Amino acid sequence: MTNDLAGVWEVALSDGVHRIEFEHGTTTGKRVIYVDGKEILRRDWMFKLVGKEAFNVGKSETKATINIDAVSGFAYEYTLEINGKSLKKYMENRSKVTSTWVLNLDGTDCRVVLGESLACGEFVDDGTETHFTLGDHNCCVKAVSSGTRRDGIIHTLLVDGTEIAECTE
């Protein structure tokens, strides 16, 4: 990495948190994108200093775009979009439709992400339960109504019968 580092973003996707770094050489026209420390795009001698660079992030190949805009004179602004939305808007929307738990099981850090469209559980008296295993551990995501429309469904992760606190990324 050189001193051309113009932007660094942390993006939480279903397969984990990814670090995106962007180098912009305003004198050389260089653009370099790193995802999790690995160079994934390099352009040298770009005569146009503003524009967009599109790339994919994570196992799901999520679409990402870095926008390069001139602010004034030789000052530039860099914004990251994920799936066509600003990073802030993407994370707000994601937190509305997913529940995330981070835990350590048998010395291994685990991330459990429940997406609304992915979960299909069995009906029980007070809601639904989705059962799965992580290693030798029995896991269950319970979904129960909050009783209010604003709060919707409350999801709880149980690992071997113990409730795990939800992660607020």
pLDDT tens, 50-82? 889 999 998 889 999 999 988 887 788 889 999
- Give the DSSP H/E element, type plus range, for residue 100: strand 98-105
pTM: 0.59
DSSP state of 166: P
120: number of Cβ within 10 Å: 7
**Distant-in-sequence, close-in-space partners of 49: CB < 8 Å, separation ≥ 6:** 24, 26, 29, 68, 70, 76
Does 2.40.128.180 match the CATH number of domain 5-83?
A: yes
pLDDT tens, 122-156? 777 777 888 888 888 888 888 887 777 777 777 88
Q: What is the pLDDT of residue 66?
A: 94
- All structural domains of the chain with their residue ranges: 5-83, 96-164
Among 2.40.30.10, 2.40.128.180, 3.40.50.12170, 1.10.275.30, name the CATH number for the domain at 96-164: 2.40.128.180
Examine domains 5-83 and 96-164 and report if their fold is the same: yes
